[in-house]
Structure formats: structure tokens, C-alpha cells
Structure 1
Amino acid sequence: MKKIISLFLLLFIYSTSFSQELLATVQVNSQQLGGSNQSAYKALEKSLRDFINNTSWTGRKLQNFEKIKSNFAIVISEKDGNRYKGSIVIQAVRPVYNTNYESPLINLQDTRFSFEYIENENLIFNERQFSGKNLIDVVSFYVYLILGYDADSFQTMGGTQWFQKAQQIAQNGESQNNYDGWKQINEPRNRSQLIREIMSPNMAQLRSTFYTYHRAGLDNMFNQDQTSSKKIIFDALMQLKMYENSFQQNYFFDLFTTNKADEIFNIFNSGNNGGIIIGDLKQLMMMFSPKNTDSKWSKWK
């Protein structure tokens, strides 16, 4: 666990109740547009930061240390009047009990991101209908996705109510023809696909593993004897073998293995793994994440 801890800085301390609001940073990068007006992008950056951090997404009022640390990074590649096109990266982390380590919850890049924005306009979210401009719809979708991931890591299926909010936003977006990323067909790895897979009963085991991995596994890694926690994480991961014939095209599953690859490798990259049959986990991870075979899984002893 010491190797894992050394990879991250202390961002916030653990709260005994899982957090349900965000403490977000926002960056808007317009370098690809050359000498365009930077004030509009700084205004967009501030407006989004205020929108994410000041909106009451869950109805709970929390201290900053209780909130979910997250980051939204937008790269704008095209501009046509008030219409913009580019990509957005969404990242969020979760504290691990009694340590200064933070575990990655989600880290994804959405390259189908276009929106309309007028400098200094008010950003108002209505979950019951599409905004017409796509900016707050996409951002709100990912806010609820982060809330769902976080809650799932503290309680079995705890994120369902927030995933349902994200699903409603996706359904609102599917009726729009002016913006990509919402259609369930001809757009692989889109927002609608992701939330549909998260909510699918077929993915209940992955969500259950997500909870066990974090709450029963990582949150107990502070113990001097880590073998029992490693065994819990090992058993939880081995439960995913049920997806060996269906994981290839699953966006939700791919995000899990991609976001957790470094962490999983570091947890078991020591000689103190108790009675775990590391060869079984090695074969599993080589199947699920073959691109990491040489850099990670083959190095396990």
C-alpha cells in the first residue's frame, strides 16, 4: 500500500458519511484556436466552476472536506459564432480511510462535445428537459455520473438515484439532432451507452465489486496486516470472470479496468499477498486489460 500512497498527494480527509456534492476545478483550453478572445473562455471557465460547485445537486449542504474532488477539462478545437466544438475530460477521486491516498473513481475523455455559449450567460439546469445548448446537459450528466460512482463505492448500489438522474439527462439528449454523443446507434462509447450499461441488471456484479473493492478492501488497507484486505479485493475482482465473454464492447467495464489498472497492479505488486493465487488474477487481468500485460501483469510474482 505504501507504493500506492506515494503516487498521490493528500487532497482531502475521509468523511464517515459518503459525500454527495462536488468540489470541482474547471479548465478551458482554447490554444487550438490561436489568437481568439480569451476573455470569453475565462468567463466560461468561471461560469462552469460556479455552476458545478454552487448547484445543490443532492439537497445536502456539506463542508468542503466532505465533497468529491473532481476536475473538468475542456479543450476547444473549433468555433463558429457562439457554437463550439471540442472534447471534455472528467476526473474524480475518492479518499481511502485513514490514509493520504485517493483512489480514482472515474477518468474519461468525451470527444463528442459541442455546445452553444454566450459570454456571461446564466447557466440554469432543468433535469426535465434539454437545454437546447448542450453545455449544461453534458456537464450535469457527468456530475451525476460522478455522484453515482462515489455513492456506489460507499454503499452497495448506493449510486442508483444519481445514475437515474444521469439517465434522464441522456434520454433528453437522445431526441436532439444537433449534438453528438447522445445517440444509442452509430456512436460507440457514447454517454447514453455508458449510463445504459451502468443501469443494466447484467452489470450488477461489477457495481457490487466496485463497492466491495473500495469499502471492504481499500478502506481496510491501513491495517498493519494487509493480507485480509488484499484477499477481499482479490475475491471481488475474481467475481468479474463472469464477464469474460461479454466485456469487449462494454464501455462501463472498460472504464473500470482502465481507471483501476495502476491501482490494482500496485496493490498486489509485493511479496506479501498472503494465500492469494496471484497467477489466477494475472490471467484475469491479462484477459481484461491486455495492453498492460508487459508493463504490469507480467511483472507480478
Structure 2
Amino acid sequence: MKKIISLFFLVFIYNFGFSQELLATVQVNSQQIGGSNQQAFKSLEKSLRDFINNTSWTGKKLQNFEKIKCGFSIVISEKVDNRYKGTIVIQAVRPVYATTYESPLLNLQDQRFGFEYIENENLIFNERQFSGKNLTDVISFYVYLILGYDADSFQSMSGSQWFSKAQQIAQNSQNRNYEGWNTINEPRSRTILINEILNPSWSQLRSAVYTYHRSGMDNLFNQDQTAAKKVIFDTLMQLKMYENTFQQGFFFNLFMDTKSDEIFNVFNSGNNGGIILNDLKQVMITLSPKNIDSKWNKWK
């Protein structure tokens, strides 16, 4: 299988069992607003990195090689006094058992990121109430989202406790005059995403995340890949149940956006055992039509 180049280049020893704290990189890009005080953005970058990596999100203290590797990349497009607007990209990966390969868990771009920040201020988060500035609220929401995705990939549906915390943050942030939290006129909002994840209608997709990774990817690097590929094949074929609803599903489309490169590469080796690849091809054409020419039609 071709290896997908990860955002992260460090190789960590894999510790079996799911990790529930973060090892995050943070980048803040302010090039679009030019001559502003660059030191403030360096301060923001460091403060966010410390906030994400040093906060005890789960109550567990883990060694670095046990932590979830992730990245937060912020592009600032507007600044008025202490108010900022921009885009944030959140990425997270999961180690694959007995390999150095990292499977992408989350790759999300949020274009409605507005917040207030004063240079060198302490970043404080209280899960019970909105901060008033939206910065730690958005970051903490995505931290718990990452924790939920990671947990689900190691034990079926075990991310619910972290997804529920993300949902509470979304509820706290409603009607606070910041974009990205609304359920009306914001079709890919944070609130819509987390509500879908916890909606029983999408429970088959959450179960698929576990089976795909734990029974599929974690066994894919055995000398005989046939069984692992069959698990991944069967798991993806089961998603056909969403063929009439996936267009409206932020959670579903996020899964496809994150995993499409990997899915393509898994079955592009020409060594697929008894799998009828054309059956999977037709399902992927239906569920991920934007990748028809770049991926699915290239399968032989």
C-alpha cells in the first residue's frame, strides 16, 4: 500500500490502546494583514500551543509517545483592535499497529473563526460557560472532537463522553454573536457537526470508524493483507445505507474527505484477494462523487 504523507514527520513508538491527551502543533499565519504587530501572533501561537498541550482534558497524564498527534493551523484574514477573523484547519492522525504509518482521523477546515485576543493574556476555559471571547471555546471544541474521534477508532462508540463535552461547548456558544455555531444558515457549523455525530441516525458511521481502523487498518500490514482488506471493504460497503442522505451529512462528508486518499491507496495495490473492487468502486462513486476522476475511476 502506498503510504500517505502525513502532516507530521516525527515517528513515535506506538503504544497499543487509545491515548487521550494531545501532542499538538500550532501555526498562526498573519500574512494577509501585513504590517500588524507580528509579536502578538507569535504570542498567540505559543499561548495556544501551551493551552492545548498542557491542559488536562481527560484527567490522564500520559507520556509523549502515548498522546494523539494533531495540528491546528490558523490563517488570520482580518484584525480590528483586539478582534480577529480567519480560518482554522484541524488535523489529527492515529498510529497503525506495529508500523510507523499514521492514519488520518480528522482533516477539517473551519472558515468561520472569529475571536478576541490580547497579547500575552492567559487562556482560560470553563466547560460550563462561554468564555466571552470565542477563542478557547472553538479550540476546546475541536480538542474534544479529536479525543472523541480517537477513542471511537480504538473502541466502538467510546468517544461519546468527549463528543458530549464538545456538544456542551456548542450549546454554551449559541447566540453569542460569533459565527460557526449556528444551526440555521450555517450548513457546516460546529453545532451541526457534533449534533450529527451524537445522532443515532449516524451510529453506523461511528461503528464503521472503529471497525475500519481496529479490525482493518491495524491488521493491514500483516504479511497476508487479504483479511484486513476484506474488513475495510465490508465496512465501506455497509455505508451504502447512507446513499440517500449523505449529501446533507456534514459528519459523513467529513469522513469521506478525510479518508478518501487512504481508501484509494488501500485498494490501489492490485493485491486485493477475492474482493470485487468494482462493487466498492460503484459505492464510492455514489458516496464521494467529487473524487470520481481523481480516484475511483483509476482503480483497475
Q: 1:10 to 1:119 in 2, by over 3 A?
A: closer
| Aligned position for 1:44 | 44
Report the Cα distance in structure 2 between the residues aligned to 1:15 and 1:296, rounded to whole angstroms. 33
Give, in angstroms, the shift of residue 167 of structure 1.
Answer: 0.2
SS at match of 1:193: helix
Report the Cα distance in structure 2 between the residues aligned to 1:299 and 1:109, rounded to whole angstroms. 27
| Aligned position for 1:131 | 131
| Aligned position for 1:162 | 162
Give, in angstroms, the shift of residue 289 of structure 1.
Answer: 1.1
Kept in 1, the 8 Å contact 2:180–2:189? The answer is: yes
Figure out how many residues of one structure are paired with residues of the other and give that number: 298
Give, in angstroms, the shift of residue 10 of structure 1.
Answer: 5.1
Residues 263-288 of structure 1 show CA distances to partners (whole Å, capped at 9, x for unaligned) of: 00000012211111111100010111
Report the Cα distance in structure 2 between the residues aligned to 1:35 and 1:10, rounded to whole angstroms. 34
| Aligned position for 1:24 | 24
| Aligned position for 1:288 | 287
| Aligned position for 1:242 | 241
Report the Cα distance in structure 1 between the residues aligned to 2:179 and 2:123, rounded to whole angstroms. 20
| Aligned position for 1:147 | 147
Stretches of structure 1 lacking an aligned partner (at least 5 in a row):
none
| Aligned position for 1:213 | 212
Report the Cα distance in structure 2 between the residues aligned to 1:12 and 1:146, rounded to whole angstroms. 18
Kept in 2, the 8 Å contact 1:91–1:107? The answer is: yes
| Aligned position for 2:266 | 267
| Aligned position for 1:98 | 98
Kept in 2, the 8 Å contact 1:10–1:102? The answer is: no
Report the Cα distance in structure 2 between the residues aligned to 1:144 and 1:30, rounded to whole angstroms. 26
Give, in angstroms, the shift of residue 14 of structure 1.
Answer: 1.6
Amino acid at match of 1:28: V
SS at match of 1:112: strand
Amino acid at match of 1:72: F
| Aligned position for 1:112 | 112
Give, in angstroms, the shift of residue 300 of structure 1.
Answer: 1.1
Stretches of structure 2 lacking an aligned partner (at least 5 in a row):
none
Report the Cα distance in structure 1 between the residues aligned to 2:184 and 2:13, rounded to whole angstroms. 42
Report the Cα distance in structure 1 between the residues aligned to 2:18 and 2:57, rounded to whole angstroms. 15
Residues 155-196 of structure 1 show CA distances to partners (whole Å, capped at 9, x for unaligned) of: 0001100000000000001131x2001011111100000000
Q: Normalization by structure 2: what TM-score?
A: 0.98
Report the Cα distance in structure 2 between the residues aligned to 1:110 and 1:299, rounded to whole angstroms. 30
| Aligned position for 2:256 | 257
Give, in angstroms, the shift of residue 11 of structure 1.
Answer: 2.8
Amino acid at match of 1:213: Y
Kept in 1, the 8 Å contact 2:26–2:45? The answer is: yes
Amino acid at match of 2:273: G
* Comparing 54-63 and 270-279, the one that deviates more: 270-279
Report the Cα distance in structure 1 between the residues aligned to 2:273 and 2:75, rounded to whole angstroms. 46
SS at match of 1:218: helix
Kept in 2, the 8 Å contact 1:10–1:101? The answer is: no
Kept in 1, the 8 Å contact 2:240–2:287? The answer is: no
Q: 1:233 to 1:127 in 2, by over 3 A?
A: same
Q: CA RMSD in A?
A: 0.9
Kept in 2, the 8 Å contact 1:4–1:267? The answer is: no
Amino acid at match of 2:275: I
Amino acid at match of 1:220: N
Q: Quick one: percent identity of the two aligned structures? A: 76
